[in-house]
Amino acid sequence: MRSWIARRSLRAFAKRYGYDVSYLEMMLNFSPTALFKFAPLMKAAAHREVVPADASFAAKIVGALAEDCGPCTQLVVDMALEAGMPKDQIEAVLRRDPRAMNDATMLGFRFADAVVRRSADDDEFRDAVTAQWGPKGVIDLTMALQLGRMFPMVKAGLGYAKECRRVSVSGHNVDVVKQAA
């Protein structure tokens, strides 16, 4: 019964977002125990207590971009739109254009980018996040970033990350910049 409910939930998610959940269905078919242990991470990935949605989704997009070639990043973009993040802010993160970001988006982006790159200035951005939103803000952004990276890595590990595709924001293709030049 639990597997039947999980399969229906996965199919509904796939339909809602136009996202290929084959790797999760494979887990369900061959190791339901693994899927049921992995599934709570989906809820954890949505954790956000104090930071604005713009900051959280900026971190999630940075995380997805660090590990993905399009489909998982597209999923995060679609979720950001659904959560009300402005299109121009999403595009600014995808293009790595801090000048076009509002303050919350820029701080979430800079923090996540510094952590992903293991930059020497990650303490500077961590301190800025703490000053803006307190320790809970650092936790929010860290979870957004790191859990956003986990799904593409599991997909790749299981052999399902074979598709590269353009990322679009509301039907408008965006030239994604993965790292600073």
**What does the alpha-carbon distance between residue 172 and residue 51 come to, in Å, rounded to a whole number?**
27
pLDDT tens digits, the chain, 181 residues: what are they?
899 999 999 999 999 999 999 999 999 999 999 999 999 998 999 999 999 999 999 999 999 999 887 899 999 999 999 999 999 999 999 999 999 999 999 999 999 999 999 999 889 999 999 999 999 999 999 999 999 899 999 999 999 988 888 899 999 889 888 775 4
Rounded Cα distance, 90 and 69, in Å: 17
CB-CB neighbours of 43 under 10 Å: 9
Residue 69 lies in a domain: yes
Q: Quick one: which of 71, 48, 70 has its CA closest to 139?
A: 48
- Residue 71 forms part of a structural domain: yes
Please tell me the predicted confidence (pLDDT) of residue 180: 55
Range of the domain at 86: 48-153+165-174
H-assigned helices in the chain: 2-17, 22-30, 32-38, 40-45, 53-67, 71-82, 87-94, 103-116, 122-157
Does residue 61 lie within any of the structural domains? yes
The count of domains in the chain is 1
Residue at 180 is within a domain: no
